[in-house]
Amino acid sequence: MRIAIPLYKSLFLITFLLSVTGLSAQTQRYVYEKGMMGSPFVLTFYASSDSLAKCAADSVFSRIQQLNDSLSDYRDGSEINKLSATAGTDRWVDVSDDLYRILEISQQFSVQTKGSFDASLGPVVQIWRRAVRKEYLPEKKDIREALDRTGYKKILFDKENRRIKLVQKGMRLDIGGLGKGYAADRGMEVMRHFGITAALIDAGGKLAISDPPPGKEGWNVAISTGRDSVGTVTLSHVGVATSGPTYRFLKINGTIYSHILDPKTGIGLLYNVRTTVISPNATDADVLATAYSVTGIRKGKKYARKYYKDTLVWLEESRNGHVKEWNTILP
């Protein structure tokens, strides 16, 4: 019988004996960077040797590439697109642990925020991607038709057998709102397999942070705290994500449409929101940064107090030039 061992585990076994004698030695700081998922992924961590550091970094990047191959809706043959192709066929589809897990997480936040985050928004996302690329405003009828093929309640879960069913024809899944945060968390799991506990993974602005650097209280992270001010916080054992239309938006006749879509209207947010969330992990922070952008200040406070008391939020919302700031939500 052949037993398949994941790459990062096999590399760990190969290098373990070489590095184990140096684990208690003075650690060094290492930085590795690679373009993945359309963004730079930067690994900053402390390890006891060059060989251990390189093996760990290669394994993290390998794991993230595996996730991208499976979960990216940009790839025709990806697992998530194959699942979307079964929509409306009344088929239960066996899926990988990663795909089931990320959709289950998405569903949890969809329920809690009453649809402010929705992984079924793919048909609408496709319309806006084309519109941004070609710089035109989508037709209302096209948006309405696409919205008819969305709805997180149309994603069914068979937890016992880890299967998914998409009940309506034409549905298309898009987990872009939490994919990088999820990848950062999975990369941190690989780091721990190598015995590396002091690490920060920056997945295109979505941060997974573990133990502090040696001799430090935490990692110094610069975050926007409203009205273009930047503050520095010292963090460990958390995830951080920032969401906003600073670089990705569509401007038509003086009106700015954010790349963040309101799942209820199918239209890019017409008010300017910049949100930073510190949460127990990068996946949750990534989802909540998007969801809070959609909910705005009033509803965001309501959901935070009910479900997310262990999060810290900076949110700036402007409408017609008037800025409202919601600085923090504390436990």
pLDDT digits (tens, 9 = 90+) for 210-246: 999 999 999 999 876 555 556 788 999 999 998 865 5
Q: What is the pLDDT of residue 5?
A: 41
The structure's pTM equals 0.87
* Pairwise CA distance, residues 291 & 289, whole Å: 6
Architecture of the domain defined by 75-175:
Orthogonal Bundle (1.10)
* Pairwise CA distance, residues 146 & 127, whole Å: 8
**38 annotated as ligand-binding:** no
Side by side, the strands of the sheet bearing 163-166 are 93-94, 163-166, 155-158
**286 annotated as ligand-binding:** yes
Task: Give residue 250's Cα distance to chain centre.
Answer: 22
Same fold, 75-175 and 217-331: no
- Counting as low any pLDDT under 50, the low residues of the chain are 1-24, 321, 328-331
* Pairwise CA distance, residues 59 & 53, whole Å: 10
Q: What is the pLDDT of residue 272?
A: 65
Non-local (6+) Cβ contacts of 248 within 8 A are 132, 258, 259
Q: What is the pLDDT of residue 270?
A: 79
* Fold adopted by 217-331: T-fold (3.10.520)
* Pairwise CA distance, residues 16 & 22, whole Å: 10
Q: What is the pLDDT of residues 134-151, one digit of tens each?
A: 989 999 999 999 999 999
| Tokens 């721990």 sit on residue | 192
Q: What is the pLDDT of residue 35?
A: 94
205: burial class by Cβ within 10 Å (0-12, 13-18, 19+)? middle
Domain boundaries, the chain: 7-73+180-211, 75-175, 217-331
